[in-house]
């Protein structure tokens, strides 16, 4: 799994760099960011779950590298993860996606299209489940706000949706005496596909352009 992710990343970056290596460098070409919005949303969900006594923690985030082709187009590579640990279940999802962005007004508002690969691993009551593999795809609308000229720090709120295609080899167990655990156990597939692996993407990236 790790080798597949690394191979995907290397091929994507090499092709992007080779195809556009002849472009001029009058504006920053590179951007690195971390998704604080993903972290905040999972911490909020974790606190909500803990209020029902059924979850130890839920945590996730994403890191992204973006290569600016010109003022209207860019490519990016994004790695995402989420970790869920309850009194019954443990799950981890990781995904690597290739992104293509269009900035209609030169590097401010953007439309982002993504296709990538995701995995889901987990255990239930110490029973390890088979790894689930997914094709992940989707789109986002966002706004990049530079605090440099334009090099330097930026923030990037965005909103979108990610769909997933693939077989889920995991079904959460639940304790009927616990409300939240019962709720998750009865809606496991919707939770996994609609939030844990795919689903709505609310992002608030903080990064640096150079």
**Domains and their CATH numbers in the chain:** 2-15+34-209 (2.40.160)
Burial of 44 (0-12, 13-18, 19+ CB in 10 A): exposed
Q: Among 91-95, 116-120, 178-182, name the one with the lowest average pLDDT.
A: 178-182
- Judge whether 154 and 103 are in contact, CB under 8 Å: no
Between 85 and 116, residue with greater pLDDT: 116
Burial of 142 (0-12, 13-18, 19+ CB in 10 A): buried
Structure confidence at residue 205 (pLDDT): 97
Long-range pairs, 44-51, Cβ under 8 A, ≥24: 49/86, 49/180
pLDDT, tens digit, for every residue of 121-131? 988 777 888 99
pLDDT, tens digit, for every residue of 117-155? 999 998 877 788 899 999 999 999 999 999 877 789 999
User: What value does the mean pLDDT of the chain take?
Assistant: 84
pLDDT, tens digit, for every residue of 6-28? 556 555 555 555 554 444 457 89
Q: Considering the entire predicted model, what is its pTM?
A: 0.81
Between 103 and 7, residue with greater pLDDT: 103
Partnered with residue 188 across adjacent β-strands are: none
Between 168 and 1, residue with greater pLDDT: 168
Q: Does 190 have pLDDT greater than 80?
A: yes
Structure confidence at residue 47 (pLDDT): 83
- pLDDT band (50, 70, 90) for residue 53: low
């Amino acid at each position: 799994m790790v080798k597949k992710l690394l191979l995907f990343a290397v091929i994507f970056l090499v092709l992007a760099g080779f195809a556009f290596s002849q472009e001029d460098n009058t504006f920053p070409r590179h951007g690195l960011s971390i998704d604080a919005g993903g972290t905040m949303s999972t911490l909020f969900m974790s606190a909500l779950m803990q209020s029902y006594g059924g979850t130890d923690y839920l945590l996730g985030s994403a890191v992204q590298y973006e290569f600016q082709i010109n003022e209207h187009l860019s490519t990016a590579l994004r790695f995402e993860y989420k970790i869920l640990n309850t009194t019954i279940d443990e799950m981890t999802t990781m995904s690597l996606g290739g992104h293509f962005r269009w900035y209609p007004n030169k590097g401010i508002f953007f439309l982002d299209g993504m296709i990538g690969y995701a995995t889901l691993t987990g255990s239930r009551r110490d029973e390890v489940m088979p790894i689930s593999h997914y094709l992940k795809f989707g789109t986002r609308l966002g706004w990049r706000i530079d605090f440099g000229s334009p090099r330097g720090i930026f923030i990037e709120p965005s909103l979108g949706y990610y769909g997933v295609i693939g077989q889920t080899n995991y079904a959460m167990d639940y304790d009927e005496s616990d409300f939240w655990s019962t709720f998750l156990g009865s809606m496991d597939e919707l939770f996994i596909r609609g939030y844990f692996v795919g689903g709505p993407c609310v992002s608030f990236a903080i990064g640096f352009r150079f």
